[in-house]
Structure 1
Amino acid sequence: MADTESVTTQDTETQPDTDPLSELSDERLYQLVEDTLQSNDVLNTETEMFEKFLKRVEPKDGGHSSLGSTSTPVTATPSASMQDLRTVGRRRSKSKSGTIERLLKLSAEQKCDIAQRELEELREDIDKFKEESEKILDNHKAHIEESDTRLSEIRKSSYEFERDILKGGVNPRTGKVVGERATRYFDDRIRAKDTLIEKLRLKNSSLKVQKRKLQLQLKQKEEMGEVLHEVDFQQLKIENAQYLERIDERNQDLLRLKLMAGNTMQVLNSYKKKLNTLTAESERLKSEITSRQDMLTRIDAETNSVEEERSKAEKENKKYRTQLADYRVPDVLDYVQDKADLYELQKTVKSWERKVEIAEMALKTHKKTWYQMQMASQHISPWKQPLEAQYQ
């Protein structure tokens, strides 16, 4: 609350000819007016609160005992603009004679006490209003449930009446409702209602008995001093508030741990993905290493075989080199003589081959002549006929 301060003047002086407000600019005057209106709003609010407090406390405490024997409070918010306004007021009041009675102001403790009491009263009013609102809401809910139950029962009764009487109780010959059936239907309904009333009456009586028992137990507890009082309820409220704070702290810790678990799961999933990729890469590298090792084995085998062939080739090359080193080129006349002998030998071979062909031809001629001579000298038997084919 704003501190209360009275505008007082203890000495009287003559008012100057010029108005002090004329010395201020328009903006300063506008600011002074705005600050004054704001201070007046605060004063009106405080005055209303003090009046409510006095009306509520005066019949209980007897007068202004809670205020410490103070008069009607006048509060104001100290600021630079209010200082200017008080200065102007002092200047204008210098010409007035007499002194103004100094108004008493409330102390900070009294203001805090009043504000605390008003706050408690406001909370109590809010709690009462909540309780009344909850009671009204419960009553409305009960009325709505009762209306829904009655509506469902009415609909059910209407459906059954239409099914049993209007449709099922019509005489097919006359086309009218049979009176006996309608009477029997209403009698059954009345008996069902009587049965329901009896059940509800028994239930009501049992509830009354239970209520009496609970009242007796409550009375016994009150006599034994085991009933909870207002202080106990306040203590329970405080403990409940403490437990709620602890629950909020635990919830905050739980949310923090959930966030940490979520972040951990994300990191774990990323590491799992990396592990899968690295595992696949490792498998690929293992297969590649295996293939490279097989290739290296084949290359070693080929290297060994090549080394063996190289050693053999070196041996042959060495032998050929030794032969080449020992080789002596023959004379040209020897080469010409050998070539001439080769030509002579080739001619001799060709002549002998021609002679063999001529001899074979003469042999065939002699065989044919010999066969003809045998045929002429002897009779040819049938089994000797294939011999001609042999010679032919």
Structure 2
Amino acid sequence: MADSESVISATTGTDQQDDPLLELSDEQLFQLVEQTIRGNEVIRVETEMFEKFFRRVEPKDTNSFQPNANFHTPVSHVQEMHARGSRKRSKSRSSAIDKLLRLTAEQKCDIAQRELEELRYEIDKLKDESERVLDNYRASLEEAELRVTEIKKAMYEFDRDICKGSVNPRSGKIVAEKVVRYYEDKLRCRDTLIEKLRLKNSTLKVQKKKLQLQLKQKEEMGEVLHEVDFNQLKIENQQYLEKIDEKNQELLRLKLMAGNTLQILNRFKKRLNTLTAEAEKLQSEIASRNEMLMKNEAETIVVEQERMVAEKKNFQLKKHLADYRVPDIQEYVEKKASLSELQKTVKSWERKVEIAQMALKTHRKSWQQLWSQSQQTGNWMHSGDSH
């Protein structure tokens, strides 16, 4: 302590002359103070961790654990720094002393790793203890529930058999013999239960001895599972769980794909039903148009025959006109009248022929359109079936 005071007193004169804080502004000083506070907080946490580690380690470990070769002799190094202080600045001396009093990064990592392992061990220990306590509480709670259930059942049976069933109808009092018999039955049932539990306990003891013997034999044969085997089983279990998760994800993806495929299939089925109904409608329409076409063809043949007959008559009439001789006036008038009648008839027949030809053209055009539509529909249905 005196050596450190001598060092401080020896370096105050140079500190006042070479103090770098005098050149800093208020904002820079504020930032420096904030950085120093944060650094002190980090150092405080490290110090607390080191104190916990130092208190936990045994004396033999503390003697063997040397954080730094210069850490156990800080006073000698302070004296050495004081001897060389006349040639160096106070800042360099203080930084050198801090370096001598600090732990290395490897030592800090070692201490932090040990503290982390200790903390994990304590957490696991607390978990085990809490699980044990919870198991005890659960067992106590189950036992209490069973006791309450048995007490309620006994109260109900006592009220049913004694309070209500053992009352003498003449005197209105409870018959003592029935009460005694009730308690004797209860004691007999309790003795039977005790004997049953004793036998069960003896059976469990025999099973326990057998299991201990088997365990001892396995230990002698080297077949006992150690902690490494349990860790290996845990790792394999984790791997299998990951594989199960992957398979579940793949199954979910396949289910989604199957759902999408089913939706597409239903859409195409609906479209196929629509097209089938439309094809049936077109086929019925084609059949009706074919019937109409056959009728038109039959009518066309009849009209064509009538036209040929009319042309033949017209030819004969023209031939008669070519061999015409001038008749009498009366005959001329009659012939003229008959000619006009024949001309009217010819015109009407020609008109009919023209109408029939126009109808024939119309029917042929409709037939060609229906035929082309039926060909296109058949080609499209054939291409849809191939897909």
Name the structure 1 match of 2:134: 137
The reply to whether residue 126 of structure 1 matches residue 133 of structure 2 is no
TM-fit CA distance, 1:302: 2.5
Q: Say if 1:170 and 1:177, in contact at 8 Å, map to a contact too.
A: yes
Matches within 5 A, 1:173-252: 173-228=170-225, 232-248=226-242, 250-252=243-245
Q: How far off is 1:336 after superposition?
A: 7.5
Residue deviations 1:270-307 (CA, integer Å, cap 9, x gap): 22122212321331233134224313422441242133
Structural mapping, 1:92-171, within 5 Å: 93=90, 100=97, 102-171=99-168
Q: Which amino acid aligns with 1:208?
A: K
2:254 maps to 1:253: no
- Look up the SS of the partner of 2:16 in the other structure: coil
Contact 1:165 1:181 in 2 (8 A): yes
Q: Deviations over 1:350-374 (max 9, x none)?
A: xxxxxxxxxxxxxxxxxxxxxxxxx
- Which of 315, 328, 350 in structure 2 is aligned with 1:322? 315
What does residue 39 of structure 2 align with?
Answer: 39
Equivalences for residues 21-60 of structure 1 within 5 A: 23-26=24-27, 28-60=28-60
Report how far residue 117 of structure 1 moved. Answer: 1.7
Distance of 2:94 and 2:305 partners within structure 1: 146
Partner of 1:355: none
Cα distance in 2 between the residues matched to 1:129 and 1:51: 22
Whether 2:306 is the aligned partner of 1:313: answer yes
Task: Give, in angstroms, the shift of residue 30 of structure 1.
Answer: 3.7
**Which residue pairs with 1:265 in the alignment?**
258
Whether the 8 Å CA contact 2:168–2:174 is kept in 1: the answer is yes
TM-score when normalising by structure 2: 0.68
Q: Which residue identity is paired with 2:201? A: N
The match for 1:298 among 291, 295, 298 is: 291
Deviation at 1:224, TM superposition (A): 4.8
The CA deviation string for residues 205-260 of structure 1, in whole angstroms up to 9 with x for no partner, is 332333333334444444555444xxx31342144124303421x13422331232
Asked if the contact 1:169–1:181 (Cα under 8 Å) also holds between the matched residues in 2, the reply is: yes
| AA at the equivalent of 1:50 | F
Post-superposition offset of 1:92: 10
Amino acid at match of 1:127: D
Query: Counterpart in 2 of 1:276?
Result: 269
Q: Residues 261 and 96 (structure 1 numbering): CA distance in 2 closer, same or farther, change over 3 Å?
A: closer
Deviation at 1:198, TM superposition (A): 1.9
Deviations 1:46-75 (A, max 9, x none): 111111112222335242526365638xxx
- Per the TM alignment, residue 104 of structure 1 is displaced from its structure 2 partner at its CA by 4.3
SS state of the match for residue 279, structure 2? helix
Q: In structure 1, which of residues 259, 262, 286 is the aligned counterpart of residue 279 of structure 2?
A: 286
**How far apart are residue 137 of structure 1 and its match?**
0.9
Q: Is the 8 A contact 1:169 1:178 kept in 2?
A: yes
Mapping 1:313-392, distance limit 5 Å: 313-325=306-318, 326-327=320-321, 332-334=329-331
- Cα distance in structure 2, aligned partners of 1:14 and 1:31: 21
* Partner residue in 2 for 1:77: none
Between Structure 1 and Structure 2, the one with more helix by share is: 2
Could you tell me whether the CA contact under 8 Å between 2:67 and 2:103 is conserved in 1? yes
Cα distance in 1 for partners of 2:18, 2:190 equals 98
Higher mean C-alpha deviation, range 262-271 or range 326-335: 326-335
Q: In 1, are the aligned partners of 2:167 and 2:174 still within 8 Å (CA)?
A: yes
Following the alignment from structure 2 to structure 1, what is the Cα–Cα distance between the partners of residues 116 and 49?
11
- Separation (CA, whole Å) in 2 of partners of 1:159 and 1:97: 87
Q: Report the identity percentage.
A: 42
Match of 2:36, as an amino acid? T
Measured in 1, the distance between the counterparts of 2:310 and 2:92 equals 145
Q: Secondary structure at the match of 1:186?
A: helix
Name the CA distance, whole Å, in 2 between partners of 1:336 and 1:100.
Answer: 160
Alpha carbons of structure 1 residues 202 and 69: separation in structure 2 relative to 1, 3 Å: farther
- The 8 Å contact of residues 70 and 104 in structure 1, kept in 2 or not, is answered as yes
Unaligned runs of 5+ in 1: 1-9, 73-90, 339-392
8 Å Cα contact 2:68/2:104 also seen in 1 = no
- SS of the aligned residue for 1:15 comes to helix
- Are the structure 2 counterparts of residues 94 and 159 from structure 1 closer, same or farther at C-alpha, using a change threshold of 3 Å? closer
1:22 to partner: Cα distance? 6.3
1:360 alignment counterpart: none
Aligned length, in residue pairs: 306
CA distance in 2, matches of 1:131, 1:192: 40
Larger Rg: 1
Q: 1:293 to 1:253 in 2, by over 3 A?
A: same
282-291 or 188-197: which moved more?
A: 282-291
Give the TM-score, by structure 1 length.
0.67
Q: Which amino acid aligns with 2:283?
A: T
Q: Distance in 2 between matches of 1:109 and 1:266?
A: 59
Counterparts in 2 of 1:333 and 1:42: CA distance versus 1, 3 Å = same
Preserved CA contact (<8 Å) 1:14 1:95 = no
Q: Structure 1 stretch 58-67 or stretch 96-105: which is displaced more?
A: 96-105
* 2: CA distance, partners of 1:224 / 1:14: 77
